[in-house]
Amino acid sequence: MAPEPPLLSMSGITKSFPGVRALDGVDLDVQAGEVHCLLGQNGAGKSTLIKVLAGAHQPDDGVIRWRGEPVTLRSPIAAMRLGIATIYQELDLVEHLSVAENVHLGHEPTTAGFVVRGRAAKEATGRLLRRLGHPEVDPGRLVGELSAAQQQIVSMARALSHDVRLIVMDEPSAALDPDEVDNLFRIVGGLTADGVAVVYISHRLEEIRRIGDRVTVLKDGRAVAGGLPAKSTPTREVVALMTGRTVEYVFPERPAPPPGDGGTPVLQVRGLARDGEFEPLDLEVRAGEIVGLAGLVGSGRSEILETVYGARRPTAGQVLVDGRPLRPGSVRAAVRAGLGLAPEERKAQALLMLESVTRNVSVSSLSRFARAGWIDRGAERAAARAATRELSLRPDNPAVPVRTLSGGNQQKAVLARWLLRGCRVLLLDEPTRGVDVGARAELYAVVRRLADEGLAVLLVSSEVPEVLGLADRVLVLREGRVVHTAPAPALDEHRVLDLVMEGSQAS
């Protein structure tokens, strides 16, 4: 035990959400004046961890010590009182208020307790902005009129307007130009020189090398390495830590002759593009084939799937099913032609949480059970039951509300919907997000079986091993562009990570 206890020490932090264990006994030590980097793939638990630290989530188990004293962070205000400030990736600023008002939101300088001293707030804000190297931002301007980078500065000024001892930055460089990133690093350096600790989250290894002191790597809700030296740990080792399996997934075997060789493709995408999201894209998926799209957040993966599905209107190109072009921007046309989407945000985009499994499964095929609009509920139940059994959905009772299901079984309910509809092309967006580790293998088997039965599957995942393990062919995306295409067996995880991170390292 060091004589001086660390500023922050989290140990054994555990947090579960229905169906997922987001954090599983995570330890994290942060010293005053250091830049401590958190690394991990999507879904590794970084966001949950910083929300616990910000007081937004209450851990199920574990101890948080602040300067050696055990503390409970009951609310964001409690965390702020201790001196913990968080700058989220999605900035939480009020667009219709001025910079100064945003900075002092909730703790406005007042006279007699309630008269807001606007001038004092503006002056204090001006000082903070100069300290952050952005004297050009006018404290009186509306935040909505500022650029993304300037808004981030405002967010940071807000954090610094409190007596802050520890500042958490969630991917602060994601929205910044290179010179703005330099300024950010200068600010971080200034903060640490003042003894403020910074918890820095980024995908970009190169940034971590530049400003980080120590690195903690998260993987599947566990800290697989804590307190590694940021400058000297080899990249290969960091990547291995990020990707190394704590649980070995069992991927189903691929059919002996690679599927889809020859034969006409079911799904053809020709020159499909959306300005600002992804560049013209060509791809084909044949019956029985699983094609994977691998890429980081912001690489345009989900946007591509949703555009193929008609949920977004393309700016160019077309989608063909069985050689016939679909009406662009029409989900109904896509569904009629045999497309089915299992979206990334299952609860927000796919499920009717108040309804039973049966009704969630039948919702896309209602007219099949209806005569003159009248639903034959017996037929509906039987069909939903058959579809859910086909996928071994648990519990084996489609009358239960879908919200009582685990993540994996909710995903199966979505797949059963398209199975019942008799779709030809399945679009899977992050199919195992929020699905616990044990259930993933089963889901993989289901997807492969559906492909074997003749479906064309287009898969998107930020988890590289998933794409490599499940898909037959892989397209690697970076910033809205396909940078590599290869049969899955010809690729490995490091190669793909190199490809997707190349661009960001260059910046």
Strands 425-429 and 456-461: parallel
Q: Are 384 and 393 in contact (CB under 8 A)?
A: no
- C-alpha 11/C-alpha 8 separation (Å) is 10
Say whether residue 215 binds other proteins (CB under 8 A): no
Coil, strand or helix: which one is 340? strand
Instruction: Closer to other proteins by CB, 229 or 329: give it.
Output: 329
Say whether residue 419 binds other proteins (CB under 8 A): no
Say whether residue 375 binds other proteins (CB under 8 A): yes
Say whether residue 395 binds other proteins (CB under 8 A): yes
* Residue 96: CB minimum distance to other proteins, A: 18
Say whether residue 359 binds other proteins (CB under 8 A): yes
- Of positions 70, 234, 276, 374, contacts other proteins by CB under 8 A: 374
Structure tokens at 69: 């004293």
Site size for other proteins, by CB under 8 A? Answer: 48
- Of positions 138, 142, 364, 483, contacts other proteins by CB under 8 A: 364
* Region class of 98: left (phi > 0), else alpha (psi between -120 and 50), else beta: beta
Max Cα-Cα span within the chain: 80
Instruction: Closer to other proteins by CB, 214 or 417: give it.
Output: 417
Name the residue among 183, 173, 90 with its Cα closest to residue 136: 183
Coil, strand or helix: which one is 399? coil
Say whether residue 436 binds other proteins (CB under 8 A): no
Instruction: Closer to other proteins by CB, 44 or 305: give it.
Output: 305
- C-alpha 199/C-alpha 197 separation (Å) is 7
Say whether residue 248 binds other proteins (CB under 8 A): no
HSE of 264, CA atoms in CB hemisphere, 13 A: 6
Coil, strand or helix: which one is 357? helix
Say whether residue 366 binds other proteins (CB under 8 A): yes
Beta bridge partners of 129: none
Cβ count within 10 A of residue 506: 7
Name the residue among 426, 390, 452 with its Cα closest to residue 252: 452
* Residue 181: CB minimum distance to other proteins, A: 34
Say whether residue 442 binds other proteins (CB under 8 A): yes
Structure tokens at 410: 């909710």
Beta bridge partners of 120: none
Instruction: Closer to other proteins by CB, 211 or 342: give it.
Output: 342
Say whether residue 396 binds other proteins (CB under 8 A): yes
Task: Write phi, then psi, for 163 (nearest 5 degrees).
Answer: -80, 90
Say whether residue 441 binds other proteins (CB under 8 A): yes
Say whether residue 255 binds other proteins (CB under 8 A): no
* Region class of 329: left (phi > 0), else alpha (psi between -120 and 50), else beta: left
Instruction: Closer to other proteins by CB, 51 or 385: give it.
Output: 385
- Of positions 39, 166, 191, 311, contacts other proteins by CB under 8 A: 311
Identify residues 444-463 at the interface with other proteins (CB under 8 A): 445
Say whether residue 63 binds other proteins (CB under 8 A): no
Span from 133-141, 209-217, 320-328, 332-340 in contact with other proteins (CB under 8 A): 332-340
Structure tokens at 40: 């991990």
Instruction: Closer to other proteins by CB, 323 or 373: give it.
Output: 373
- C-alpha 174/C-alpha 191 separation (Å) is 20
* Residue 133: CB minimum distance to other proteins, A: 41
Write out the residues near other proteins by the rule CB under 8 A.
250, 252, 309, 311, 331-332, 334-336, 341, 343, 348-356, 359, 363-364, 366-367, 370, 373-375, 377, 385, 389, 392, 394-397, 399-401, 404, 417, 421, 438-439, 441-442, 445
